[in-house]
Amino acid sequence: MKAFKGRVVVPGRIAAEALVSHQGLNTLASFQKALQFGDKKATCGDQNNPDLYGKQMAGKALCLPQTIGSTTGGLVLYCACSMGRQPACMLFSNPIDSLAAAGAVLADVWLDNVRMPVVDSLGQEFLDYVEDGMNIIIQEDGVVLVGDKF
Protein backbone atom coordinates (compact mmCIF):
# COMPACT_ATOMS: atom_id res chain seq x y z
CA MET A 1 0.00 0.00 0.00
CA LYS A 2 1.17 3.51 -0.72
CA ALA A 3 0.88 6.10 2.06
CA PHE A 4 0.05 9.81 1.70
CA LYS A 5 0.09 12.27 4.57
CA GLY A 6 -2.43 15.07 4.79
CA ARG A 7 -4.00 17.38 7.35
CA VAL A 8 -6.87 16.15 9.47
CA VAL A 9 -9.97 18.32 8.99
CA VAL A 10 -12.43 15.91 10.64
CA PRO A 11 -10.74 12.98 12.40
CA GLY A 12 -11.68 9.34 12.05
CA ARG A 13 -10.54 5.88 10.93
CA ILE A 14 -12.31 4.28 8.03
CA ALA A 15 -11.81 1.85 5.13
CA ALA A 16 -13.68 2.40 1.86
CA GLU A 17 -13.47 2.08 -1.88
CA ALA A 18 -12.06 5.05 -3.78
CA LEU A 19 -14.12 7.21 -6.11
CA VAL A 20 -12.02 9.80 -7.91
CA SER A 21 -12.88 13.18 -9.40
CA HIS A 22 -9.93 14.80 -11.13
CA GLN A 23 -11.81 18.05 -11.45
CA GLY A 24 -13.46 20.13 -8.74
CA LEU A 25 -16.63 18.61 -7.34
CA ASN A 26 -19.66 20.79 -7.91
CA THR A 27 -21.47 19.91 -4.69
CA LEU A 28 -24.93 21.22 -5.56
CA ALA A 29 -24.97 19.74 -9.06
CA SER A 30 -23.61 16.41 -7.78
CA PHE A 31 -25.94 15.84 -4.81
CA GLN A 32 -29.13 17.73 -5.53
CA LYS A 33 -31.02 15.05 -7.44
CA ALA A 34 -30.02 12.31 -5.02
CA LEU A 35 -31.24 14.32 -2.05
CA GLN A 36 -34.37 15.41 -3.87
CA PHE A 37 -35.55 12.08 -5.12
CA GLY A 38 -34.59 9.74 -2.28
CA ASP A 39 -31.57 8.12 -3.93
CA LYS A 40 -29.77 6.48 -1.03
CA LYS A 41 -26.74 5.72 -3.19
CA ALA A 42 -26.29 9.43 -3.86
CA THR A 43 -25.71 8.91 -7.58
CA CYS A 44 -23.76 11.88 -8.93
CA GLY A 45 -26.03 14.08 -11.05
CA ASP A 46 -23.42 16.48 -12.43
CA GLN A 47 -23.33 16.02 -16.19
CA ASN A 48 -20.34 18.32 -16.39
CA ASN A 49 -18.21 15.91 -14.37
CA PRO A 50 -17.39 12.89 -16.55
CA ASP A 51 -15.41 11.21 -13.74
CA LEU A 52 -18.38 11.01 -11.38
CA TYR A 53 -21.57 11.39 -13.39
CA GLY A 54 -23.90 8.45 -12.77
CA LYS A 55 -21.70 6.89 -10.09
CA GLN A 56 -22.58 6.14 -6.48
CA MET A 57 -21.02 8.61 -4.04
CA ALA A 58 -22.55 7.43 -0.75
CA GLY A 59 -20.18 5.25 1.22
CA LYS A 60 -17.22 5.85 -1.10
CA ALA A 61 -13.86 7.40 -0.29
CA LEU A 62 -14.33 10.50 -2.40
CA CYS A 63 -10.96 11.72 -3.71
CA LEU A 64 -10.90 15.19 -5.26
CA PRO A 65 -8.89 18.39 -5.62
CA GLN A 66 -11.50 20.70 -4.09
CA THR A 67 -15.20 21.52 -4.35
CA ILE A 68 -16.49 24.22 -6.66
CA GLY A 69 -19.69 25.95 -7.57
CA SER A 70 -22.59 27.47 -5.69
CA THR A 71 -22.08 28.79 -2.18
CA THR A 72 -24.91 26.47 -1.17
CA GLY A 73 -22.18 23.79 -1.32
CA GLY A 74 -21.60 23.59 2.43
CA LEU A 75 -25.22 23.22 3.35
CA VAL A 76 -25.79 20.63 0.62
CA LEU A 77 -22.96 18.56 2.07
CA TYR A 78 -24.42 19.04 5.55
CA CYS A 79 -27.78 17.75 4.27
CA ALA A 80 -26.17 14.73 2.61
CA CYS A 81 -24.58 13.88 5.97
CA SER A 82 -27.81 14.42 7.86
CA MET A 83 -29.69 12.13 5.47
CA GLY A 84 -27.02 9.42 5.59
CA ARG A 85 -26.06 9.84 1.92
CA GLN A 86 -22.58 11.22 2.44
CA PRO A 87 -19.32 9.73 1.16
CA ALA A 88 -17.51 7.51 3.69
CA CYS A 89 -14.80 10.17 3.74
CA MET A 90 -13.53 13.08 1.66
CA LEU A 91 -9.89 13.25 0.64
CA PHE A 92 -8.66 16.51 -0.87
CA SER A 93 -5.42 16.83 -2.78
CA ASN A 94 -5.49 20.63 -2.26
CA PRO A 95 -6.05 22.55 0.96
CA ILE A 96 -9.78 22.38 1.61
CA ASP A 97 -11.92 25.18 0.12
CA SER A 98 -14.26 27.31 2.21
CA LEU A 99 -17.47 25.64 0.99
CA ALA A 100 -16.41 22.06 1.70
CA ALA A 101 -14.89 23.19 5.00
CA ALA A 102 -18.22 24.69 6.04
CA GLY A 103 -20.08 21.48 5.20
CA ALA A 104 -17.59 19.26 7.01
CA VAL A 105 -17.54 21.46 10.12
CA LEU A 106 -21.32 21.93 10.25
CA ALA A 107 -21.87 18.17 10.01
CA ASP A 108 -19.31 17.48 12.72
CA VAL A 109 -20.64 20.13 15.11
CA TRP A 110 -24.40 19.81 14.60
CA LEU A 111 -25.08 16.18 13.76
CA ASP A 112 -24.93 13.33 16.25
CA ASN A 113 -23.92 9.87 15.14
CA VAL A 114 -22.64 11.06 11.76
CA ARG A 115 -18.98 10.69 11.06
CA MET A 116 -17.38 11.66 7.76
CA PRO A 117 -13.61 11.87 8.18
CA VAL A 118 -12.02 14.57 6.03
CA VAL A 119 -8.34 14.93 5.16
CA ASP A 120 -6.92 17.68 2.95
CA SER A 121 -3.55 18.74 1.48
CA LEU A 122 -2.73 15.22 0.27
CA GLY A 123 -0.94 16.60 -2.79
CA GLN A 124 -1.29 16.20 -6.54
CA GLU A 125 0.65 12.93 -6.41
CA PHE A 126 -2.21 11.41 -4.40
CA LEU A 127 -4.77 12.40 -7.02
CA ASP A 128 -2.54 11.17 -9.84
CA TYR A 129 -2.08 7.80 -8.13
CA VAL A 130 -5.51 6.92 -6.80
CA GLU A 131 -8.06 5.24 -9.08
CA ASP A 132 -11.71 4.27 -8.81
CA GLY A 133 -12.13 1.04 -6.85
CA MET A 134 -8.83 1.19 -4.98
CA ASN A 135 -8.85 0.28 -1.32
CA ILE A 136 -8.49 3.32 0.96
CA ILE A 137 -7.71 3.28 4.66
CA ILE A 138 -7.61 6.51 6.67
CA GLN A 139 -5.76 6.71 9.94
CA GLU A 140 -6.45 9.18 12.76
CA ASP A 141 -3.21 11.08 12.12
CA GLY A 142 -4.15 12.01 8.53
CA VAL A 143 -2.20 9.21 6.86
CA VAL A 144 -4.12 7.79 3.93
CA LEU A 145 -3.19 4.32 2.71
CA VAL A 146 -4.03 3.46 -0.88
CA GLY A 147 -4.03 -0.19 -1.90
CA ASP A 148 -5.01 -2.40 -4.82
CA LYS A 149 -8.54 -2.48 -6.12
CA PHE A 150 -11.15 -4.41 -4.16
Partner 1 sequence: MKLTEEQKSILEGSKGETLAKVMESLVRYGELFGADEMVPVSSKYNHLVTSFGLKALGPVYELMDKLIEAGAPSGQKFTVDPKPLDKNVPSNFAQDVVFKLFMYSRQRDYEEQLRQLGLLSDSSFTCTCYMDEVGNKPGYGDVLSWAESSAIVYANSVLGARCNRNSGIIDLMGSVIGYVPRFGLLTDEGRKADWIVEIWTEKKPEAQLLGSAIGMKVMEDVPYVRGLDKWIGNELDDEACTYLKDFGAATASNGAVGLYHVEGLTPEAVRYGEDLIKPDAKVYVIDDAELERVYREYPVIWKNKDASPKLCFMGCPHMSLQQLKDWTDKVEAGLAKSGEKKVVVPTVFTAAPGVLEEFAKTPYAERLKATGVITSYICPLMYMNNPLSEKMPVITSSNKLRTYTSARYYTDDEILDQITKGGK
Q: Point out which residues bind partner 1 (CB under 8 A).
A: 9, 24, 26, 28-29, 32-33, 35-37, 47-48, 66, 68-76, 78-79, 82-83, 96-99, 101-103, 105-106, 108-110
Which one, 119 or 134, has the nearer CB to partner 1? Answer: 119
> Considering the complex, what minimum distance in angstroms separates the CB of residue 1 from partner 1?
27
Residues 6 or more apart whose CB falls under 8 angstroms from that of 65 comprise 21, 22, 23, 24, 92, 93, 94, 127
> Considering the complex, what minimum distance in angstroms separates the CB of residue 126 from partner 1?
18
Exposed, middle or buried, 113 (CB in 10 Å: 0-12/13-18/19+)? exposed
- The backbone torsions φ and ψ at residue 19, rounded to the nearest 5 degrees and listed phi first, read -135, 125
Which one, 108 or 130, has the nearer CB to partner 1? Answer: 108
> Considering the complex, what minimum distance in angstroms separates the CB of residue 149 from partner 1?
29
- The backbone torsions φ and ψ at residue 122, rounded to the nearest 5 degrees and listed phi first, read -80, -10
